[in-house]
Structure formats: C-alpha cells, structure tokens
Structure 1
Amino acid sequence: MTGPRLHAVRGPAGAAVLDLATGRWTILDPIAAGLLDWPTAPAQRATLIEEATARWATTGADPGLVRAGLTAAAADLDRLRAGRPVHHSPPGPPLAVRFTPDARPAPHVRVAAVAALAAALLLLRFLPIRHVVAVARAVLRLPGRPARVRDAEAAVAAVRAAGRWWPGRVACLEESLAAHLAGALTGRRVHWVLGARFAPHGAHAWTETERHVVGQDENDRLWPYLPVLTVPGSNR
C-alpha cells in the first residue's frame, strides 16, 4: 500500500510539492519541476534524459553535465515520490487579496473561534498533517452553507483576537485552520488552503471564500502564493 499522496503546483518559476506523509515542502526549480511529468519506467526515463540532453547540447551546454544533472534530479524525485501518486493542483484565476479584516464578530462567532483555535492548536501539535487534513474535511459534514466574505472576515478576526491570549505560536497555519473550524461550527464554510510561492521561496496557509483570500497579514504583501491543497476541494 502506498502512503499519503503528494500534492504539487506548477508555476513559471518551478513547482512546490507538499508531502502529506511528513508535512514537508519541496521547492523545485523549473527544470526539476518538468521532471514531475516524466514516467518512472527506467527505459522511458533514459530515453527522455537523452532527448533532453541533446536539446541542451544545441545551446552549448556540456552533455555529460546535463545528463548527470537530469539523472540525479530524477533520482531525487523518485525518492520523494516513493511510488505514490502526485496530485497537481490546476491553475486558477487570480484571487482578490483582502488584508487584516476590520470586523466585529458576533458573540457566538467569538465563542466558536476560541474552541476552534484550541482544537487547531491541539490537532497540529499532536497529529500528522495528513490526519489534520482529514479532520478539516470531516467537519464539513456539519450543516452549513458557503461563507460570504464578511462571514470569513468575522471568523478570522475572532480567531486572531483569541490568539492574542495564547502564549505560544499562532501563525498562518494555526490561524487559518482555526478559521476553517470556526466557520464550520457557525455554519459558514470557508476554504482552508495550503500553498507556496517561489520569489522568495516560502510556504503559507490561508482562508479563502468567494475567490477572496481573507485576512492576509499586512506585512506579507508578496503575492501570489499558489494553492497546493484546498479543503474542501477535489485534490484528495
């Protein structure tokens, strides 16, 4: 039986790969990103490496160095994949980014946010990320409807307010998961998204609804991040 699948997203600057078995991110340069689409059968792999080597040789590159580099990169990817499927997140239209929300959550949203933040902190502290994702999907069985932007902003604002009382780390991963859980508890479903960017390299987690990123930190305006895994979503 294969382990949890890999989730990947491609961009002009390369690819980002999230391993759900370990929670680790791997950022690939454009050449290595292209190898994600190559077959793993040795004969087919060797043929493609020779074809690529010949193409690079026409630009003046040393064929031996190119062949060795491609072979090593393909072997690294094989170790990362370990026979597991790779889910590629499809490209989507640009998102509107809304920064720190100016919202006054209702009392029931504030109560839900406290419970959701406590749950998020416990889940991320004690469970592997693949199980955290499973829980995030499971709470969507609660009755509710898709959140509007103002609903999501209220959830993020309430979680952020609750986080000020927590002496430990409440960063984007904890905050966005808590907002997702708080939305489910109040019947307003929001998307929990894990993604990455390439310039500079970095992983991120955020809350999304109605094609809006909600509650992005004012100090982090280097967008776009590309979504790698979305809950809810088809990339299971």
Structure 2
Amino acid sequence: MRVTTTHQLYTARLPNGGAAVMDVRSGRGQWQHLNSTAALLWNQVIEGADLSKAANRLTATLAAQGAEEAVVRADLAALVSHLRALGLLAASPAPAPDPAPMHVREVLPAHTRLSLPDRAAGLLALATALFLLRCTPIRAAIAAARLVARLPLRPAAPERADQLFAAVRRVRSAWPGRAACLEESLACSFAAALRGRAVTWVIGARTAPAGAHAWNETHGNQVIGQDPEDRIWPYAPALRVRHGRNK
C-alpha cells in the first residue's frame, strides 16, 4: 500500500479573516501568519487562481471599497515579493480544510483507571511518535499518519478516544524529555490504531496571540484531550488526517 504526499503547504483559515500557512518542506514545519488582506490573495492562490489576475481582482475590490489603488498595488507587490522570497509560491499548497465548529472535551483525570492493553498501546505509540518527530521531517510523520488512517479501523467513540489519549498522557508523564501537543496527538492516533480504533489527527493555528497547536478529533468534530487552563481556543485546522481519507 503506497501513499504519496505531494502537498507541502497547509493553510488554516483564521476567524479574523487572516490565515496561517504551515510549510512542511523541512524540519518540524514553519508557520507564516498572514493578515486579512494577504489572506484574501493567498486563498485565491491555493484555489488555483493566476497570481497576476488574483492581484488585479483584489486591487479592484479594495479600490471599490475606498482604498487608494496605487497603495494597494504597492502593498500587494511587496506581499508577492515576500511570499516568493519564502518559497511559498513555488510549493504545492493543499486546499484549506473546513473550520467547522468544534466541541472541546477535557482530558480525563490523572487517576482514571486504564487497561493494561491501552497503557501498552500508549507506550508503543508515544515511542513511535517521538522517533518520527525527533528523527525525521514532519512530512514523514504526516505520511505515517495517513498510512495508519487507511487501515480497516472502527471510529473511536468520544469516551473511548478519551481513554486512549489518557493512556498516552500517562506514559508521557514518565517521559524525561519534552513531549508536547504534536507528539501527544500523533501518539494518540497511533494508540487508537493499535487498539483497532481511529481518531483524526489535526494540526492548526490561531491568532491573537499567534500560535500553533495539534489535537485529535472524533465524532462530530469533538476535540479530545484538552487542558482548559492552557488551551486557548478557537484554533483553525490546517491539516486533518481523517480515517479513510488521504487529504
């Protein structure tokens, strides 16, 4: 079974009209945050529009709203130059996912009893996620998550997904190094697969303050495994690796 990952850029459409672009061509990925005007142009680019025509359309739209045309053209020219310098115009962008409303579920208490098979799955899954994210570029982790998403698994009910994330969190608490949301969420996807279940792996971003986050979802875009004291929502998804899909 072969999965080919060709997309190099993933875009989160932010609630304020801006956008955050994740570039996965190297390392753990690089984020670029765009304001609402830059996002208008970028959204047309990822939908396949010709860059010059998109810039002309945006100039006409903003001028009709009262902006000075010469200023708009100069600003857009500077934006295009910046995007080109970052290499974003030469990379392959994925369509932006739907920022559907999400229900955020809190992580289970630390004293929750977990089965031995779940804890073993959490251990193996976290070790695999740590290896992928520490020793290979993030695009390798994305490819691995997509392979797992193609397995014949049953979607995890929210309560079951909570248990599997808790199993990963239990193991992570004993890990001497740093393991943050990216490692935990990828490990949860792997742990679920080891137990015959599927959860969605999501990487996204927010604004005000700008930041990135990774999480898991299950039925009805329910977000699992979140600590209310240190998770500031809403985040918008840039990449969803969902069971049975390769997008």
TM class, shorter-length: 0.7 to 0.9
Sequence identity percentage: 45
SS, match of residue 155 in structure 1: helix
Which among 206, 212, 223 is matched to residue 213 of structure 1? 223
Is the aligned partner of 1:30 residue 2:51? no
User: Out of 152, 162, 168, which is 2:161 matched to?
Assistant: 152
Paired AA for residue 96 in structure 1: H
Where does 1:1-236 land on structure 2 (aligned, <5 Å)? 4-13=7-16, 14-22=18-26, 23-38=29-44, 45-46=51-52, 49-50=55-56, 52-53=58-59, 56=62, 61-79=67-85, 80-102=87-109, 103-210=112-219, 211-232=221-242, 234=245, 236=247
Cα distance in 2 between the residues matched to 1:10 and 1:34: 10
Q: Look up the SS of the partner of 1:173 in the other structure.
A: helix
State how far apart, in whole Å, the 1-side matches of 2:6 and 2:153 are: 32
| SS of structure 2 residue aligned to 1:165 | coil
Which deviates more from structure 2 when the two are superposed, residues 154-163 or residues 72-81?
72-81
In 2: Cα distance, 1:16 partner to 1:132 partner: 20
Question: Aligned partners of 1:140, 1:235: CA distance in 2, in Å?
Answer: 8
Contact 1:114 1:162 in 2 (8 A): yes
What's the CA shift string for 1:124-171, capped at 9, x where partnerless? 001111111111122234442110111111111111110111111111
Q: TM-score, normalised by structure 1?
A: 0.87
Question: How big is the shift at 1:180?
Answer: 0.7
Distance 1:47 1:136, change over 3 A: closer
Q: Which runs of 5+ in 1 are unaligned?
A: none
Partners of 1:232 and 1:51 in 2: CA distance: 35
Following superposition, the deviation at residue 207 of structure 1 comes to 1.1
Deviation per residue, 1:32-60 (Å, 9 max, x gap): 001114469xxx64555455445545666
Aligned Cα root-mean-square deviation (Å)? 2.5
The question of whether the paired residues in 1 share the 8 Å contact of 2:8 and 2:93 is answered with: yes
Aligned length, in residue pairs: 232
Cα distance in 2 for residues equivalent to 1:197 and 1:177: 19
CA distance in 1 between counterparts of 2:35 and 2:175 reads: 38
How far is the alpha carbon of 1:117 from its aligned partner? 0.7
> Aligned partners of 2:52 and 2:151: how far apart in 1?
50
Q: Partner letter of residue 32 of structure 1?
A: A
Give the whole-Å Cα distance in 2 for the aligned partners of 1:81 and 1:214: 32
User: Deviation per CA, 1:166-195, whole angstroms, max 9, x where unpaired?
Assistant: 111111001111111100111111111101
Q: Distance in 2 between matches of 1:26 and 1:106?
A: 41
- Is contact 1:4–1:19 with CA below 8 Å preserved after alignment? no
In 2: Cα distance, 1:99 partner to 1:5 partner? 32
